[in-house]
């Protein structure tokens, strides 16, 4: 390992410069105007894999391209599938960024750019670690397959199909994903649970144009009021989702998990302070960690209706819409809640408006068994790179395709987050600690060796 670590130390600056190149490409998957940039980012990743000696291809799909790469074959060695994504979230509100989102810069030891932590910076650690092995040892101790997609932030539709159609090609012994967070700065974590998700848009159509609220108010249904009623009816006072049967399949937290979560050095006050809120809120009977990691939720992600300009404008808006999402936990499935959700919305709809529920995307959650030899290998690699043994955590976010990969390839996933909770993923001023980037590369390089030893 000595030569590899020296190589990583020597190449620190070069790795950072290459990450900056990828960060400069505005690969926002949700924005159709950015399709060219999505293509450029996929090509960049594929070229990079090829440049370090991998077989690599860009697979055209009906959505955004998928990059697939393979390292030179090592007979008899285990095969690891690295999954990551090169697409990023939209940047708005742009005015809150201190430096432009696609002009990466370092301030106070952090790389600021959209995609720095989610997921370009984290994903590339597994590419640079392979480069370090190949350049300094001339070989890798494992077979690596790379599956890097451009649609994670919009639900991974094309990738789910690709995985189902290519199970032989993707066959592996374990899956490695770095698209989450450490437990805290310098405290590494192995994440054994992810939440699933179900996203919808609810559109309420009222009059065929905005109307004078004096002439019409009180005599017809206001779509914004109708939408508010629906949204209010979806969630109870204490945060309980009101969709019938919603909790039926929820795997409850075990006593052991609750104890382990309670023992984690989690500073609730600091967590809420960094989010800029004064207090916690959520389902009664659960701690903040339990709520965000292991309980399902309902959220409004966007709400649009009526006059948004300065001053007052007395209208009944013609239309109102909301983007909403449910975070799901094992064993809930987006398909199972779909009908009950649509029925409830219909029941809550006021007369005189047309209510449409548009399904967007969904994915189930995931729980990874902790007794696998790959978890032991990962623990050793993390302890080596961070100087501290990892803690076992779950995450509240979703990485839609991981459950599909786990099921289709019958392989366990190692979720090794190099980021921090306050990296501002999806927010303005997204950032990634330079130190976390390097620790990620070192941990990844060690991981290949630990997996080869199993």
Q: Which residues bind ligand BES (CB under 6 A)?
A: 118-119, 152-153, 155, 179-181, 197, 361, 395-400, 425
Looking at beta carbons only, is 399 or 447 nearer to ligand BES? 399
DSSP assigned state of 53: T
CB of 152 to Zn ion, least distance (A): 6
CA distances from 75 to 143, 206, 289, 452 (A): 8, 65, 43, 12
**Contact stretch for Zn ion (CB under 5 A) within 116-124, 208-216, 352-360, 408-416:** 116-124
* Structure tokens, 323: 């983007």
* Structure tokens, 138: 């001339």
* Residue 398 interacting partner from Zn ion, ligand BES, none (CB closer than 5 to 8 Å by kind): ligand BES
In terms of C-beta density within 10 A (0-12 exposed, 13-18 middle, 19 or more buried), how is residue 10 classed? exposed
CB of 118 to ligand BES, least distance (A): 5
Q: Is 119 in the site for Zn ion (CB under 5 A)?
A: yes
* Positions of E strands within 150-238: 174-177, 189-194, 196-205, 211-212
CB of 153 to ligand BES, least distance (A): 5
Q: Is 257 in the site for Zn ion (CB under 5 A)?
A: no
* Positions of E strands within 17-65: 55-59
* Nearest C-alpha neighbor of 394 from the set 417, 410, 419: 417
Looking at beta carbons only, is 119 or 423 nearer to Zn ion? 119
Site string for Zn ion, 152-191 (x = CB under 5 A): ---------------------------x------------
Q: Is 421 in the site for Zn ion (CB under 5 A)?
A: no
Q: Is 151 in the site for Zn ion (CB under 5 A)?
A: no
* Residue 29 interacting partner from Zn ion, ligand BES, none (CB closer than 5 to 8 Å by kind): none
Q: Is 87 in the site for Zn ion (CB under 5 A)?
A: no
Contact predicate 342/356, CB 8 Å: no
Do strands 391-394 and 189-194 pair parallel, antiparallel, or not at all (unpaired)? Answer: parallel
**Contact stretch for Zn ion (CB under 5 A) within 119-127, 143-151, 156-164, 359-367:** 119-127
Q: What is the helix (H) or strand (E) element at residue 213, kind and residue range? A: helix 213-216
Looking at beta carbons only, is 119 or 173 nearer to ligand BES? 119
Q: Is 436 in the site for Zn ion (CB under 5 A)?
A: no
Dihedral angle sign, alpha carbons of residues 330, 175, 127, 87: negative
Strand partners, 80: 144, 174
Q: What is the helix (H) or strand (E) element at residue 326, kind and residue range? A: strand 319-328
Looking at beta carbons only, is 78 or 397 nearer to ligand BES? 397
**Contact stretch for Zn ion (CB under 5 A) within 35-43, 67-75, 110-118, 252-260:** 110-118
* Residue 296 interacting partner from Zn ion, ligand BES, none (CB closer than 5 to 8 Å by kind): none
């Amino acid at each position: 390992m000595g030569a590899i670590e020296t190589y990583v130390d020597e190449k620190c600056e070069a790795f950072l410069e290459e990450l900056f190149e990828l960060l400069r490409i505005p690969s926002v998957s949700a924005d159709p105007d950015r399709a060219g940039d999505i293509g450029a980012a996929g090509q960049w990743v594929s070229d990079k894999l090829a440049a370090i000696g991998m077989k690599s291809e860009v697979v055209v799909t009906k959505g955004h391209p998928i990059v697939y790469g393979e390292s030179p074959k090592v007979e008899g060695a285990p095969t690891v599938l690295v999954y990551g994504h090169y697409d990023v979230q939209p940047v708005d509100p742009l005015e809150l960024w201190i430096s432009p989102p696609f002009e990466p810069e370092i301030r106070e030891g952090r790389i600021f750019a959209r995609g720095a932590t989610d997921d370009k910076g984290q994903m590339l650690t597994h590419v640079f670690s392979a480069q370090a092995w190949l350049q300094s040892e001339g070989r890798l101790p494992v077979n690596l397959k790379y599956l890097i997609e451009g649609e994670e932030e919009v639900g991974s539709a094309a990738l789910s199909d690709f995985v189902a159609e290519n199970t032989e090609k993707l066959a592996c012994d374990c899956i490695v994903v770095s698209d989450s967070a450490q437990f805290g700065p310098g405290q590494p974590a192995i994440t054994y649970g992810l939440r699933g998700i179900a996203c919808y848009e609810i559109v309420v159509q009222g009059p065929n144009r905005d109307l004078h609220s004096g002439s019409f108010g009180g005599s017809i249904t206001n779509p914004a009021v109708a939408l508010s009623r629906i949204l209010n009816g979806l969630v109870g006072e204490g945060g309980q989702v009101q969709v019938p049967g919603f909790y039926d399949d929820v795997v409850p937290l075990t006593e052991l998990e609750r104890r382990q979560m309670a023992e984690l050095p989690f500073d609730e006050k600091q967590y809420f302070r960094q989010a800029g809120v004064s207090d916690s809120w959520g389902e009664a009977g659960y701690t903040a960690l339990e709520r965000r990691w292991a309980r399902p939720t309902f959220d409004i992600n966007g709400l649009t209706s009526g006059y948004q300009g300065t001053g007052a404008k007395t209208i009944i808006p013609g239309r109102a819409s909301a983007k909403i999402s449910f975070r799901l936990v094992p064993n809930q499935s987006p398909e199972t809640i779909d009908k009950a959700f649509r029925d409830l919305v219909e029941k809550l709809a006021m007369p005189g408006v047309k209510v449409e529920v548009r399904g967007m995307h969904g994915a189930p959650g995931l729980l990874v068994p902790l007794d696998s030899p790959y978890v032991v290998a990962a623990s050793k690699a993390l302890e080596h790179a961070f100087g501290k043994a990892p803690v076992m955590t779950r995450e509240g976010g979703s990485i839609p395709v991981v459950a599909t990969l786990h099921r289709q390839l019958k392989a366990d996933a190692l979720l090794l987050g190099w980021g921090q909770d306050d990296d501002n993923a999806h927010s303005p001023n997204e950032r990634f600690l330079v130190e976390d980037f390097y620790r990620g590369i070192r941990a990844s390089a060690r991981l290949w060796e630990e997996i080869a030893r199993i």
